[in-house]
A = this chain, B = another copy of it.
Amino acid sequence: MSDLLATLSNTGIAKQLGLPTVPTLRRHRPGDPLLAGPVLVASVGESRFAKAVTAFVEEQGVPALTAVGEDRLHGVVVDLSGARTLADLAAAQQILTPAVKRLGPSGRVLLIGAEPAEASGAEAAAVAQSLDGLVRSIGKELRFGATANLLVVAADVTPAAIDSSVRFFLSARSAYVDGQVAHVAAPVGQPREPGEVDDPRAEEQPLAGRIAVVTGAARGIGAAIADTLARDGASIVAVDIPAAGEGLARTANRTGGTALQLDITASDAADRLLSHLADRHDGVDIVVHNAGITRDKLLANMTSDRWDSVLGVNLGAQLTINEALLAKGSPLHEAGRVVCVSSQSGIAGNRGQTNYAASKAGVIGMVRALAPRFAERGATINAVAPGFIETDMTATMPVATREGGRRINSLKQGGLPVDVAEAIGWFGRAESGGLNGQVVRVCGQSMLGA
């Protein structure tokens, strides 16, 4: 009875506050088509990518349209990499207005823009940067699980270099990535051609043959990362502390991978991890720094113990292992991909989380600093920054805090651990060598930022 009353009362409050209903997000299931229907592919100015996007979309069995008709659209890709003037920008609005009107549930808007720092002239730079404000506004306007994202491409980038990113943003794999901007540069290492796109199985197993280490893999987001990378073809080396041995064994068994019990803050942790990879696995392709802890406390009441443990696990251990991966004779293969888990708190800050936010901002600083060094060996390092993701931790939050966290984003719901995992899989692909030093939020376009 009191539950019923609570429900009625909550419903009343939700209605009073005008809370919208929660859309069901389309998520990746092996065998599903890329998109449920046609995609508009258009461009303004010199078109660098429209042809390749069209070819890719059609190879996936999805119709590519060149103009808006009466059909419902499931995707809209506008190549604005050649947009230089306010007139070009106005042309983009003319394309987008009728297109977004026809965009269906879980539809995709993907803008491709030029790198503002490379623009010749202030107007071109302004136009390139304006796409940032435009795409974030579109994300906030779209409904029913549709998303809007921006790929910023350097002048020397070929269509092959953005292929894995176009796949990610158009597909259901990017369900909870919204309002984001990713920069693509010329790929590091040997440029790789995209997989055999006319074989649909290649798209299902983009990580086939790759060995992936995941720290903190016993449960929660780490377990989902292991599951998802395994689903996509990777061999998993699941790492977690000895106390989490049972969950770790479950992850290893479920993914058909191996388990390594390791405290990543131990002084010999990097040595042990890398020896294990060299001896037992003939090296590694993907390293996911997922392990992390929180020890929340207001700064006024912060203790050294809480500060040091959070900084040590979330940042110090990553720094040490990354240096080892960069050292001579490291087992990291060419086209190696290091992916770090940062956090929205590291971007926006968070009350009660000075230690956690400092560690996660530190991860961003580390990723940017190490990107050129990994590039020297043909590898990359990037970060995902999760927003509100449904885990055991969020399940224990007070109800109002949890509901607030779930609602305060464009998709009006929390993300799932698999959403974080899918973004890591995107960075993990050999074809994603154009992404380096990037930080992409997996937050449903959380309103919270800086």
Contacts from A to B (Cβ < 8 Å): 86, 89-90, 93-94, 96-97, 100-101, 116-117, 119, 121-123, 125-141, 179, 298-302, 304, 307-308, 311-312, 315-316, 319, 322-323, 345-355, 357-366, 368-370, 373, 447-450
CB-based contact B89/A351 at 8 Å = no
Query: Known: A133-B347, A360-B133. Contact between A125 and B365, CB under 8 A?
Result: yes
Number of chain copies forming the complex:
2
Query: In the complex, how many angstroms separate the beta carbon of A133 from the nearest chain B beta carbon?
Result: 3
Q: Which listed residue (B141, B349, B365, B370) contacts A136, Cβ 8 A?
A: B349
* Neighbouring B residues of A315 by C-beta, 8 Å: 86, 126, 130
Query: Known: A349-B135, A354-B137. Contact between A125 and B450, CB under 8 A?
Result: no
CB-based contact A86/B312 at 8 Å = yes
CB-based contact B101/A300 at 8 Å = yes
CB-based contact A122/B323 at 8 Å = yes
Tell me whether chain A's interface is mostly helix, strand or loop, or mixed: helix
Q: Which listed residue (B101, B127, B134, B311) contacts A89, Cβ 8 A?
A: B311
* Neighbouring B residues of A137 by C-beta, 8 Å: 299, 345, 349-354, 357-358
* Neighbouring B residues of A450 by C-beta, 8 Å: 132, 136, 179, 449-450
CB-based contact A141/B97 at 8 Å = no
CB-defined A-B contacts under 8 Å, sample of 6? A116-B365, A122-B323, A130-B365, A134-B357, A136-B349, A141-B298
Name 7 extra pairs, CB < 8 A, besides A97-B302, A138-B354.
A93-B302, A93-B304, A97-B299, A123-B319, A130-B362, A133-B345, A135-B349
CB-based contact A138/B347 at 8 Å = no
Query: In the complex, how many angstroms separate the beta carbon of A81 from the nearest chain B beta carbon?
Result: 15
Query: In the complex, how many angstroms separate the beta carbon of A450 from the nearest chain B beta carbon?
Result: 5
Q: How far is the CA of A345 from the CA of B135 in the complex (A)?
A: 11
CB-based contact A449/B357 at 8 Å = no
* Neighbouring B residues of A86 by C-beta, 8 Å: 311-312, 315-316
Q: How far is the CA of A313 from the CA of B316 in the complex (A)?
A: 49
Nearest residue (CB) in B for A342 is B133
* Neighbouring B residues of A126 by C-beta, 8 Å: 315, 319, 362-363, 365-366, 369
* Neighbouring B residues of A322 by C-beta, 8 Å: 122
Query: In the complex, how many angstroms separate the beta carbon of A380 from the nearest chain B beta carbon?
Result: 15
Query: Known: A86-B316, A140-B349. Contact between A366 and B307, CB under 8 A?
Result: no
Q: Which listed residue (B96, B101, B179) contacts A349, Cβ 8 A?
A: B179
- The list of the 8 closest CB pairs from A to B, nearest first, reads A449-B449, A129-B365, A136-B349, A133-B361, A125-B369, A133-B357, A130-B362, A137-B349
Nearest residue (CB) in B for A366 is B126
Query: Known: A316-B86, A347-B133, A370-B122. Contact between A354 and B141, CB under 8 A?
Result: yes
Q: How far is the CA of A364 from the CA of B90 in the complex (A)?
A: 18
